[in-house]
Amino acid sequence: MPTLYLNYPQWLSPVIIPGLPLRWYGLMYLAAFATAYILFVRQLKERKIDYDPDTVVNMFFWAIVGLLVGARIFATTIYDPTGFYLRRPWLIFWPFDDQMRFTGIQGMSYHGGLVGAVVGIVAYLRYKKIDVLDWGDMLVTGIPLGYTFGRLGNFINGELYGRVTTLPWGMIFPHARRIPASEPWAAEIAEQVGIAVTSPDQLLNLPRHPSQLYQMFLEGIVLWAVLWFVFRKRKPFRGFMIGAYLIGYGLVRFLAEYTRRPDDGLVFPIQLSSQPNPPDLFVSLLNITTGQILSFLMMVAGALCLLIFQRMKQAEPKVTTFERVLPPSAKKKRKKKR
């Protein structure tokens, strides 16, 4: 029987140089931040905004600090139902295993990283007395393209793989969870894709959606292209791009979650379907993951941002065309005469 799936590329390795603590995932993070930085500076230059390069670098520094802290805290609390890190909080940022081997900080949450980055950026911009909405619009316009590298890093790590599928581009990941052949649905899928089942005790490594690549395309390329080419020069008010980004990312992530395997222990916080739903299999649109809940909240937050920022725009005092061309000194004199 022909095989109807792809094998994960054996030549891919998470480690760049064997024996050294250099991993592709970390390099992808650097590429993502570099991409966001380049696109942000490009927008400053396009708009002929006079800026201090050190201020931009410092803003990105605090964004990275906030992102790492927030992403790690969310990953070890909301996405860890065992409570292991809540009982041992000193291990949240500990980069060594029990044998004191360097492993890096493994396990990050996008939604936590977003919260942490927003806190870091807003705090810094307010400290520097810079328009948060204006700079925030430029930031979120370029940031999604950086996700392309982050999701590629997930793929190279062979992590965050998707649910089981019979589609011809389904991929067998070497470290994916094995499923007992005693599960009727697992044996049926194995037969469909051409994997031999020899006994009910056999543990099957079934083909899965390469959901990292789906997210790389949707969250990275598609979302960035919409924000950059469609909305960037047409935004009606300050903060519009922030709201559009939150809604756009929330939407594409919500959809991609249907192909992504839920994190261990979380399964489906909302399961409205009467059919039992194994975490490795798609059963119903009504079974919602934790990631989808957080993505829905992102969309709600984005809609609220658009509403609030639009009202802020409407509440701004209207300036006549004559007053716009007056120099500041002339405007002051005109106010005194009134």
Quick one: pLDDT at residue 63? 94
Residue 72 within any structural domain of the chain: yes
User: Quick one: tokens of 239?
Assistant: 């903060």
Range(s) of the domain holding residue 32: 6-163+208-337
Residue 159 within any structural domain of the chain: yes
User: Quick one: tokens of 64?
Assistant: 């990275």
- Please give the average pLDDT of every successive group of 10 residues along the chain, which has 338 residues: 84 85 85 96 95 95 92 80 73 67 67 92 96 97 95 92 96 95 94 92 96 96 97 95 98 96 82 89 93 95 97 80 50 52
Residue 200 within any structural domain of the chain: no
In order of 123, 222, 331, the CA distances from 337 in angstroms are: 40, 54, 10
Give 90-138 pLDDT, tens digit per residue. Answer: 767 766 666 666 555 666 788 888 999 999 999 999 999 999 999 999 9
- What is the share, in percent, of the chain residues with pLDDT greater than 90? 65
Quick one: pLDDT at residue 275? 85
Neighbours of 109 (CB within 10 A): 24
CA angle 252, 244, 249 (to 5 degrees): 20
Residue 190 within any structural domain of the chain: no
Residue 169 within any structural domain of the chain: no
Residue 197 within any structural domain of the chain: no
Would the CA dihedral through 122, 123, 124, 129 be positive or negative? positive
CA angle 141, 314, 234 (to 5 degrees): 30
Question: How many domains does the chain divide into?
Answer: 1
**Cα–Cα distance between 12 and 247 in angstroms, integer?**
34
Residue 333 within any structural domain of the chain: yes
Nearest by Cα to 75 from 103, 109, 105: 109
Residue 153 within any structural domain of the chain: yes
Quick one: pLDDT at residue 33? 93
Max alpha carbon distance in the chain (Å)? 95
User: Phi and psi at residue 209, in whole multiples of 5°?
Assistant: -65, 130
Quick one: pLDDT at residue 264? 74
Give 245-257 pLDDT, tens digit per residue. Answer: 999 999 999 999 9
Q: Cβ-count burial of 298 within 10 angstroms (0-12 exposed, 13-18 middle, 19+ buried)?
A: buried
